A and B are shown apart, each in its own frame.
Chain A
Amino acid sequence: MAAARYTPRFLQQLVDRLFMRAFAVSGAYGAMVVATEWGHRFGSAFFVYVIWVTACLVLGRIVAPIQNRFIPHAVFVGINFGVVLGFGLVTGWSVPALMAVPVTIATFDIFGNGDTRPYILTMLVAYAAAMALGGVDWRASAVVLAIGFAIHWLFEGRGDYLRATLAALEESKASLEDAMKAQLQAEAELRQAHKLESVGRLAAGIAHEINTPVQFVSDNLSFITKSTTDLSTLVQLLKSRVTSTDEVEKAIIDADLEFVLENLPMALESSRDGLQRIGAIVRSMREFAHPELRELGPVDLVRGIQNTLTIAKSEWKLVADLETDLAPLPKLLAHGGELNQVVLNIVVNAAQAIRDRVGKTGKRGRITVRTRADREGVTVSIADTGGGIPAAIRDRIFEPFFTTKDVGQGTGQGLAIARSVVSKHGGTLTFDSRPGEGTTFFIRLPVPAEALT
Chain B
Amino acid sequence: MTRVLFVDDERMLLNALKCMLRGIRREWHMVFVDSGEAALSELGKNAYDVIVTDMRMPQMDGAELLRRVAEQWPDTGRVLLSGYTDEDARERVANVAHACLDKPCPATELCAAIEQQAA
A and B held together in a complex: yes
Binding site for B on A (CB under 8 A): 204-205, 207-220, 222-223, 226, 256, 259, 263, 266-267, 270, 273-274, 314, 318-319, 360, 362, 364, 408
Q: How far is the CB of B68 from chain A (nearest CB, A)?
A: 13
Bound Cα distance A51, B58 (Å)? 86
User: Do residues B16 and A360 form an inter-chain contact, with CB atoms below 8 A?
Assistant: no
| B94 at the A interface (CB under 8 A) | no
User: Do residues B16 and A216 form an inter-chain contact, with CB atoms below 8 A?
Assistant: yes
Q: Which of A214, A223, A270 contacts B20 (CB 8 A)?
A: A223
Which residues of chain B are within 8 angstroms of A215 by Cβ–Cβ distance?
13, 16, 81, 83, 103-105
Bound Cα distance A142, B66 (Å)? 99
Q: Which of A213, A256, A266, A408 contacts B22 (CB 8 A)?
A: A256
Q: How far is the CB of B83 from chain A (nearest CB, A)?
A: 3
| B75 at the A interface (CB under 8 A) | no
Which residues of chain B are within 8 angstroms of A263 by Cβ–Cβ distance?
15, 18-19
Which residues of chain B are within 8 angstroms of A408 by Cβ–Cβ distance?
88
Which residues of chain A are within 8 angstroms of B86 by Cβ–Cβ distance?
204
Which residues of chain A are within 8 angstroms of B81 by Cβ–Cβ distance?
215
User: Do residues B16 and A208 form an inter-chain contact, with CB atoms below 8 A?
Assistant: no
A318-B19 contact, Cβ under 8 Å, with A204-B86, A208-B84, A215-B103:
no
Q: Which of B15, B55, B58, B82 contacts A216 (CB 8 A)?
A: B15
User: Do residues A204 and B84 form an inter-chain contact, with CB atoms below 8 A?
Assistant: yes
A360-B83 contact, Cβ under 8 Å, with A215-B103, A223-B22, A263-B15:
no
B48-90 interface (Cβ within 8 A of A):
54-60, 81-84, 86, 88
Bound Cα distance A267, B18 (Å)? 11
Q: How far is the CB of A285 from chain B (nearest CB, A)?
A: 15
Q: How far is the CB of A108 from chain B (nearest CB, A)?
A: 72
User: Do residues A218 and B59 form an inter-chain contact, with CB atoms below 8 A?
Assistant: no
Please, which residue of chain A has its CB at the minimum distance from the CB of B87? A408
Which residues of chain B are within 8 angstroms of A314 by Cβ–Cβ distance?
56
Which residues of chain A are within 8 angstroms of B103 by Cβ–Cβ distance?
208, 211-212, 214-215
By secondary structure, the A interface counts as helix
Please, which residue of chain B has its CB at the minimum distance from the CB of A263? B19
| B38 at the A interface (CB under 8 A) | no
Interface-centre pick from A207, A218, A219, A266 (highest chain B CB count, 10 A): A219
Q: How far is the CB of A428 from chain B (nearest CB, A)?
A: 35
User: Do residues A362 and B58 form an inter-chain contact, with CB atoms below 8 A?
Assistant: yes
Bound Cα distance A226, B8 (Å)? 24
Bound Cα distance A71, B51 (Å)? 104
User: Do residues A214 and B104 form an inter-chain contact, with CB atoms below 8 A?
Assistant: yes
User: Do residues A211 and B13 form an inter-chain contact, with CB atoms below 8 A?
Assistant: no
Q: How far is the CB of A253 from chain B (nearest CB, A)?
A: 12
| B107 at the A interface (CB under 8 A) | yes
Bound Cα distance A220, B18 (Å)? 9
User: Do residues B59 and A212 form an inter-chain contact, with CB atoms below 8 A?
Assistant: no
User: Do residues B58 and A319 form an inter-chain contact, with CB atoms below 8 A?
Assistant: yes
Which residues of chain A are within 8 angstroms of B54 by Cβ–Cβ distance?
212
| B12 at the A interface (CB under 8 A) | yes
Bound Cα distance A314, B13 (Å)? 17
Bound Cα distance A33, B63 (Å)? 92
Q: How far is the CB of A427 from chain B (nearest CB, A)?
A: 34
User: Do residues B19 and A267 form an inter-chain contact, with CB atoms below 8 A?
Assistant: yes
User: Do residues A220 and B56 form an inter-chain contact, with CB atoms below 8 A?
Assistant: no
User: Do residues B59 and A362 form an inter-chain contact, with CB atoms below 8 A?
Assistant: yes
User: Do residues A223 and B56 form an inter-chain contact, with CB atoms below 8 A?
Assistant: no
Bound Cα distance A217, B84 (Å)? 17
Bound Cα distance A263, B57 (Å)? 25
Q: Which of B15, B22, B55, B83 contacts A209 (CB 8 A)?
A: B83
Q: Which of A204, A214, A273, A318 contacts B57 (CB 8 A)?
A: A318
Q: How far is the CB of B20 from chain A (nearest CB, A)?
A: 4
Not counting A212-B13, A212-B54, A259-B22, a sample of 10 additional A-B residue pairs whose C-beta atoms are within 8 angstroms of each other reads A208-B82, A210-B83, A211-B104, A215-B16, A215-B105, A219-B13, A220-B19, A226-B23, A267-B15, A270-B15
